[in-house]
Structure 1
């Protein structure tokens, strides 16, 4: 089982939404998504896990590695809506990683209203990420 992802940049904030199961089989794909994020946008990155069904120990390590990679690029990582089956326990020298109960809470902490300014919005996604009515024309 793998993951699908979508990365959205609005102003100086990135949102990496992940769906599926972040287990050993998905770690490489997640690392690739993080590489995509590092190369695009500036500022903090919120990893939105609203659609994530769960994660393994390897998946949590991948989150820790993502926080390190982003810190090396001068960016921070925050988590929103971690899976209900556990909590995030950073490993070793993981940079501070704020955890928000949901995406709205994470955005509120940045005084950003997600989706409010579509003209300044850029989005990339895996082909398996479902299209919704408001992004079907992209």
Structure 2
């Protein structure tokens, strides 16, 4: 499955959700999603990995690079629901990467759980719909 993404803006944070697999062939698409998030939101970006089936070292490096890119614009990156292997090991040049157990925990940390739904939302054409 090709990597799919959805970006939702909320009052003071953005949620970038990934589905599929984040491997070397997907890093360009992921980078484009991060650029999309930079242009269309404010505050921290929570990278929701709930539907991510797995990642490679190239995918993990892309996440580290995204953290640097977002930090350069004053927007921290936070992770929610990392894949079971939990092997993301950022290098020393990576900004702090808070990790939340799941998306709801991340939202609670930002007091966004009780807030209304997203203000705007964009996604790739292949974003999976949930029944």
Specify the TM-score bucket, using the shorter chain as the normaliser.
over 0.9
* Cα distance in structure 1, aligned partners of 2:5 and 2:62: 14
Structure 1 spans left out of the alignment, 5+ residues: 134-138
- 1:79 counterpart residue number: 79
Deviations 1:16-38 (A, max 9, x none): 00000000111110000001011
TM-score, normalising length: structure 1: 0.89
- 2:51 counterpart residue number: 51
1:40 maps to 2:47: no
* Cα distance in structure 2, aligned partners of 1:91 and 1:4: 26
- 1:2 touches 1:23 (CA, 8 Å); kept in 2? no
- 2:62 counterpart residue number: 62
After TM superposition, what 4+ stretches of structure 1 lie above 3 angstroms from structure 2?
none
**Residues 1-138 of structure 1 mapped to structure 2, 5 A cutoff:** 1-113=1-113, 116-118=115-117, 121-132=119-130
> Offset at 1:121?
1.2
SS at match of 1:26: helix
* Cα distance in structure 1, aligned partners of 2:86 and 2:58: 13
> Offset at 1:132?
4.8
> Offset at 1:49?
0.1
CA root-mean-square deviation: 1.5
